[in-house]
Amino acid sequence: MDQSPGLNPSQGADHTYAYERGHGPYQPHEPGYGLDQPDYSPYDDQIPDPKARMLAIQNAKAYLLKTSTTSGLNLYDHLANVLTKILDEQPTNTVDIIENISKDVKWARFQKKMDTLRDEYEIPPTYEAAEKCKALFIKENGEENEEIIEEEIGHSPLPNVMETAFYFEQAGVGLSKDESYYIFLALKNLTSVQPIQTCRFWGKILGLEMNYIIAEAQLREGEEEEEAGEEVTEEEVKGMDEVEEQDEEKEKEDEPPKSTYKPPPDIPKEENGTGANKYVYFVCNEPGKPWVKLPPVTPAQIVCARKIKKFFTGRLDAPVVSFPPFPGNEANYLRAQIARISAGTHVSPTGFYQFPEEEEEEEGGDTYEENPEFEPPAVAEMVDSLSTWAHHVKNILKQGRCVWINPQKLEEKNEEEEEDEEEEEEMDEQQAETGPPLLTLLSEDEGIKDIPAWTAQHSTNLIPQHSVAIIQSNRWPGAYAFASGRKFENIYFGWGHKYSPENYTPILPPPVQEEYPSGPAITEARDPTLEEELAFKAAQEALAAGEEEEEEEEEEGDD
Amino acid sequence: MEAQSLPAALALVAGGGAGLSPEKRAALGVSLTLLQHNYRFERVWFWGCIQGVRGSYYIAEGLRPDRAAPRIRLYSLNCLDWSLLTPATKEMVAQAEQLKGRFQGDPSFEYNFAEINPQAAETLFEGGKEPVIKEEARLIATIEQIDRAVGIVPRGAFVKTPLGSVHENRHFEGLSLVEAKKLSSYFHFTEPVNLKNKTLLEKANLDPSTDFLDSLEHDIPQGSWSVQLEKGGAVVVLRSLLWLGLTFYHVPMTKQYGYIYFGTGEKNVDLPFML
């Protein structure tokens, strides 16, 4: 340290001594300044000696330049960097975020040092998803193109998803425009891959891990039956093999008596193209992923689906763990819920569809055709009264089918032994289940407690000339339908469950089966007491005496 | 969600199918700005919509400078005229918990406890008051329950100053994709309940300025949140399974986040059976 010549050497020594003690030279604003310098009074504010000030500054700077033993930085450089950064970036309210800035500067230092390894450029998952979406936009080129265009212009199976999305958006229902467009393109892919006659965007069901986008389609005739046939024959062949093996084993060992319990016969599923299986459903998790066809639904699955309430996970092969055990995996459960939702909430303006005149009205009136003379009622009417809407999907009976089948008749077909006929006679005749016929009006839908089954509203009250009639189902929250003139459409966005005001309670297990019918011969009775036995004996003797008298009288009569 | 970012945010939560019609969106854009000015809020959040049988309630929340203070709630039937809601009291919440079923859509509708649950009527309504509760009170209680149970924010979005007030962290740049998939990166934006129960080891890792709220990890029942990455990770969407209809979105590595409720306002009590 330079010692200024003007200063008393002893005073300089005093300064350094004070510095080592940790107090440092006192600055003018600190109390105690000037007290160790007897020439100056405490009230003198002027800096007396510029050289002392220089010394003080140099001392301070040396302190700041001291390198830290742990990190190798020194405060002087760090503060210089921080201030440089602040002056470069000029953030607002710097004083509030100064600590964060300081931390950032230190962090930046360290990052640079570890740059010897280069990070491999990770392919973010967003990239892969974007690739898939881009694939949707690619148009197939080639000679096929022209033919396809001609076909499409004539009768395109592809629905106008964007138009539907526009109408539903007026109601505040629907996906974002981007997603709707992706779905549009994905449907276009579906129609080009599968032999589809008509198809429609059914809706979206949310799941825990992934969601389902569902398309409803009708395949061209003749395409489906082959697959179903193949599956059935394979199963039969397997069944036969197993039965033969079992028979051989039985002959070898003595067996406990076989149970005479025959489970109730499986109610067969409805044919593809009729009833609950009228449409075929394709699902995918996201537009861009391949479409998967859902298997047809069986009545057992629908009956079971009515009793359980489970979230969908988003994977079609996930098991459905429930009580009563669901016969199938998530794909079957999804299909069953789709069938229930369609049956409960697919509606159209009354009169849009009509029964064809040629067909007799049987219970199985399944077909309907568009009414060419349909005149759409005004939007106000459609909102005010629910009788302007009608269901156009057949109601699913309690049995799980749309057309009732007598299970007794099924048993007759399967078995031909006499014993079984006797058992059938004992069984009560089951009443044929009936449900509301096709094209029922919505006004006849029952509400839940005091809530009506449907809520109708205008899409806008401010511009009535262009408003759209919207109805939403209260029984299946998430099901919406709109009507505007001749256009109408149904859609579903939700979790896939029915609304119930009561809490869900799982059904109880069935009662324990009876091993044998209980009757007077098996039931225990108290043994008769002595008096009862004597009385019984006396009564018997009286009877026997009475009979003898009668016989004697008859003998006398004969003579 | 923030009123200013409403259009972009609605596009991000539309995955659930629920949204607002263009008319309502336009009306909100106008009326929320007016609301902010009239009530001198610092921020206005559009909370969501509770659908009743005959009409819907649109709810907005206004925030004062201290974000941890109780939020001021307003409701509207047409997104234009807003009415102030009184703060929720414990009584209201207890009474509303007894009510089941949908909202009617009429704020002056009265639920009569004598019909619904006579026993509860006696215990809850002391002092000879009539055992009725208006739908408005039920609305207040439901919103309070939903906010308390499932109103969430990402970790680091809010900081607590040493003086105790909470405000947005201007240095928050969004969660990374890895963090966004974890439930522990999201907090309930309400007074913490579980924080004191953490072990000392866990507490040592916490940063008192950002980790002053309960995270979603320990929610009961486990699995009551569905975390999904849409578009391969461009948006992370959390949906609550306890209150069906609550959707939270966040775009990783950006400041965009928010939650909104579109639903019937009923708790999903069947949740344990459904998982």
Do A449 and B244 count as a contact with CB atoms less than 8 A apart? Answer: no
B269 touches chain A (CB under 8 A): yes
Quick one: average pLDDT of B77-93?
A: 89
- Structural domain of residue A480, as residue ranges? 153-221+264-413+432-494
| A88 shares its domain with A208 | no
Assess whether B54 and B133 both reside in one domain.
Answer: no
Report the distance separating Cα A347 and Cα A364, nearest Å: 19
Q: How many domains does chain B have?
A: 3
Q: Is B150 a residue whose pLDDT tops 70?
A: yes
Instruction: Please indicate, yes or no, whether residues A182 and A277 belong to a single structural domain of this protein.
Output: yes
Residue A30 falls inside a structural domain: no
Q: How many Å lie between the alpha carbon of B127 and the closest alpha carbon of chain A?
A: 31
Nearest CA in chain A to B244: A495
SS (H, E, C) A286-332: CECECCEECCCCCHHHHHHHHHCCCCCCCCCCCECCCCCCCCCEHHH
Is any Cβ of chain A less than 8 angstroms from the Cβ of B239? Answer: yes
Cβ–Cβ contact A495 with B under 8 A = yes
Q: Which of A133-147, A328-342, A379-393, B1-15 is least confident?
A: A133-147
| B132 shares its domain with B70 | no
Do residues A85 and A209 share a domain?
no
> Are both B200 and B258 inside the same structural domain?
yes
Number of domains making up chain A: 2
Closest partner CB to A173 (pick from B18, B232, B270): B18
Interface of A with B in 452-471 (CB under 8 A): 452, 455, 459-462
Long-range contacts of A24-29 (CB under 8 A, 24+ apart): A24/A56, A24/A59, A24/A60, A25/A52, A25/A55, A25/A56, A25/A59, A27/A56
Query: Does the residue A233 lie in any domain?
Result: no
Look at A419 and A269; give whichever has higher pLDDT: A269
Query: What separation, in Å, do the N-terminal and C-terminal C-alpha atoms of chain A show?
Result: 168
Tokens 């001749």 correspond to A486
Both B78 and B99 in a single domain? no
B194 and B118 in a single domain? The answer is no
- Would you say the pTM of this structure is higher than 0.80? no
Q: How confident is the model over A340-358, as a mean pLDDT? A: 83
Same domain, B65 and B97: no
What is the distance between the alpha carbons of residues A36 and A38, in angstroms, rounded to a whole number?
A: 6
- Partner residue opposite A311 with nearest CB, options B171, B233, B241: B241
Task: Please indicate, yes or no, if residue A123 is contained in any of the structural domains.
Answer: no
Chain segment A489-512, per-residue pLDDT in tens: 999 999 999 888 888 888 888 888
pLDDT of A1: 47
Of A451, A472, A494, which one is at a domain's C-terminal end?
A: A494
* Contact call for residues A11 and A19 (beta carbons, < 8 A): no
Instruction: Tell me which chain A residues have a C-beta less than 8 angstroms from the C-beta of B77.
Output: none
Ramachandran assignment for A6, one of left (phi > 0), alpha (psi -120 to 50 degrees), beta (any other): alpha
- Which residues in chain B have Cβ-Cβ distances shorter than 8 Å to A285? none
Does residue A85 share a domain with residue A191? no
Chain A residue nearest residue B17, CA to CA: A174
Angle, helices A161-170 vs A177-193, to 10°: value is 150
User: Is B177–A97 a contact, with Cβ atoms under 8 angstroms apart?
Assistant: no
Q: Tell whether A84 and A215 lie within a shared domain.
A: no
A-to-B residue pairs, Cβ atoms closer than 8 angstroms: 113
Helix axis angle for A75-89 and A50-64, nearest 10°, is: 90
Q: Do B168 and B250 sit in the same domain of this protein?
A: yes
Domain final residue pick, A494, A526, A546? A494
Question: Cα A116 to chain center, whole Å?
Answer: 48
φ, ψ dihedrals at B8, nearest 5°: -65, -40
d(CA A212, CA A204): 6
The answer to whether A210 faces chain B, any CB pair under 8 Å, is yes
B228 and B163 together in one domain: yes
Instruction: Verify whether the Cβ–Cβ distance A455 to B18 is below 8 Å.
Output: no
Is B191 inside any structural domain?
yes
Range of the domain at B101: 90-138
Co-location of A185 and A280 in the same domain: yes
Residue A379 lies in a domain: yes
Same-domain check for residues B189 and B211: yes
Average pLDDT for A76-91:
89
**Residue A301 sits in the same domain as residue A189:** yes
Q: Best mutation site among B231, B249, B260 for testing chain A: the one with the most A CBs within 10 Å?
A: B231
Give mean pLDDT, residues A221-250: 48
Quote the pLDDT of residue A13: 47
Same domain, A276 and A378: yes
Q: Please tell me whether residues A81 and A187 are part of one structural domain.
A: no
Q: Considering only CA atoms, which of A29, A55, A56, A54 is closest in space to residue A44?
A: A29
In a domain? residue A201: yes
Residues B252 and B192 occupy one common structural domain: yes
Mean pLDDT, residues A84-105 taken together:
88
The tens digit of pLDDT for each residue in A116-131 reads 666 677 777 777 778 8
| Candidate from A126, A127, A172 with C-beta closest to B24 | A172
Which of A410-414, A430-434, A449-453 has maximum average pLDDT?
A449-453
Q: What is the separation, in whole angstroms, between the first and last Cα of chain B? A: 28
Q: Is residue B169 part of a domain?
A: yes
Q: Please give the Cα distance from B159 to A254 (Å, whole number).
A: 78
* pLDDT for res A411: 64
Q: Is residue B198 part of a domain?
A: yes
The reply to whether A214 and A81 lie within a common domain is: no
pLDDT at A112: 56
Question: Are the Cβ atoms of B17 and A455 closer than 8 angstroms?
Answer: no
Average pLDDT over residues A383-397: 84
Chain B residue nearest residue A210, CA to CA: B228
Burial B88-104 (b: 16+ CB within 10 A, else e): beeebbebbebbebbbb
**Stretch 169-198 of chain B: residues touching chain A, C-beta under 8 Å:** 170-171, 177
Local structure of A16: helix, strand or coil: helix
Shared domain for A197 and A96, answered yes or no, is: no
Closest Cβ–Cβ partner in A127, A171, A477 for B21: A171
- Of the candidates A456, A479, A494, which is a domain's last residue? A494
Q: Tell me the pLDDT band of A153, cut-offs 50, 70 and 90.
A: very low
Mean pLDDT of chain B: 85
Q: Say if residue B126 is in the same domain as residue B164.
A: no
User: Among A175, A286, A455, whose Cβ lies nearest the Cβ of B17?
Assistant: A175
Residues B125, B25: one domain? no
Confidence of residue B219 (pLDDT cuts 50, 70, 90): confident
Chain B residues within 8 A of A126 when measuring between CB atoms: 231-234
Q: Are residues A269 and A190 in the same domain?
A: yes
